[in-house]
Amino acid sequence: MPSLRASLLALTLIAAPFSSHALLPAAVDGQALPSLAPMLERTTPSVVNISTVTAIRADDHPLMRDPFFRWFFDVPQRQRKREAQSLGSGVIVDAARGFVLTNNHVIDKADEIRVTLHDGRTLQAELVGTDPDTDVAVLKIPAQDLSAVRYADSDQLRVGDFVVAIGSPFGLSQTVTSGIVSALGRSGLGIEGYENFIQTDASINPGNSGGPLVNLRGELVGINTAILAPGGGNVGIGFAIPVNMVRAIMDQIVEHGGVKRGLFGIGMQDLNPDLARAVKAGVARGALVAEVQSDSPAAKAGLQVGDVVVRLNGRAIESAGELRTQLALLRIGDGVELDILRDGRAKTIRSSIADPYASYMPGKKINAEYFAGALLKDITDESNFGRHPGISVGTVAEDSPAWRSGVREGDVILEANRKRVKNSTELARIIRQDGGLGMLRIRRGDRLVLLVAR
């Protein structure tokens, strides 16, 4: 009977831990054992799972991806469709209006967004708007029997505070991990356009994106957005967007459908010991002004190259990234008060955030058929391709004639119908003389691109 005795021994060894666990006391010396369970029972109903469906168009031949080829040979584009699905997390922040916060990269280019609640309901979500530069997106779901998380003040966070991440890593919904705030104000990571991350060692994995980072009171302190994963998995370095930053972005998205960033007009870099000595700063941290754009609010207020910014609207500034992010959160018309050091002497500069497109004209004044919905301005374009006159494209409304013509914010129009254009008057004349617009040549970033107008 050796095998039977061995089996009984194995059963005893396996059962023993469960027996001892069952006898754990509910309290020690009259004190209840610490547990996150009560907080999580209040918080997890506000956490949702997000799935998306995206139709991906696949061209039959690489030449079909070339708009000039299709236009020149008048070849119709045949396309096949396939579906791609993604999985992420989100958090309900307004139960009355049904608003859900998540990351832009979770729902980017999605044709359909589904939100699964804690109670198992799956709802179709409406995209209110996004801000790719901060990786924030706002969704709206039917406001019926929802539970919303409470906000914390992320400016009050300290390194060492306990935090909890909730989400759906690898599709495992309502997963909870805990840790501490490892660092604050992380930037320069190249993850987003504007960075001011909370770093945490609470385990964050693929699928956690868009989910909440909460404190021990269950209040929202951040939105989980990225991990540092040199080996492809979690190594205890995760990043969340501070909730104060998210709320400022969300308010604009709800109001405008997107973020309208203003103009202040400075370029900046981090202060280092050598630069601090060169400009006689007398401080080790701050943002050094490296450029002041002409005719900008900064220039009109008297800000100069070499000034060191140490405070913005009463908030201490320790790096160029922090100053850049805080300026980006201000709205057009908001006041700007900078405490600076100039040659070691303290000075205060006051100004405001300007509308970067105040001097642009509506595109419909040039040609409503092709440019309605865009803002345009004659400029002298300076790029890797030289210094040339052209037409700068400001904001472009989606699904507008300008959008369908292919132009996007930041483009610079250089040619129309293979003819050089130096200003908007020439562009209007070419379209009129040629009886329409067939093709545009633009600069987009560091590339020259041909567009076929539709």
* Angle, helix 364-371 to helix 424-434, in steps of 10 degrees: 50
Q: Can you spell out the DSSP letters for 107-144? A: HTT-SEEEEE-TTS-EEE-EEEEEETTTTEEEEE---S
Give me the catalytic one of 46, 168, 209, 392: 209
In angstroms, the CA 337 to CA 332 distance is 14
**Pairing mode of beta strands 99-102, 79-94:** antiparallel
**Cβ neighbours around 140 below 10 Å, total:** 18
**Pairing mode of beta strands 386-396, 112-116:** unpaired
Residue type, 93: V
HSE value, Cβ hemisphere, 13 Å, CA-based, for 320: 13
Give me the catalytic one of 46, 86, 135, 187: 135
Cα–Cα–Cα angle for 195, 94, 42, rounded to 5 degrees: 95
CA distances from 135 to 202, 204, 259, 355 (A): 20, 17, 12, 23
Tokens representing 320 are 């160029």
Residues 175, 169 contacting (CB under 8 angstroms): yes
Classify the C-alpha dihedral 281-284-289-290 as positive or negative. Answer: positive
Q: Which residues does 356 contact at the CB level (< 8 Å), separation at least 6?
A: 261, 262, 263, 394
Q: Is 438 exposed, middle or buried (0-12, 13-18, 19+ CB in 10 A)?
A: middle
Query: For this structure, is 135 an active site residue?
Result: yes
Query: For this structure, is 209 an active site residue?
Result: yes
Give me the catalytic one of 46, 105, 168, 201: 105
First CA to last CA across the chain, in angstroms? Answer: 85
- Residues with catalytic annotation? 105, 135, 209
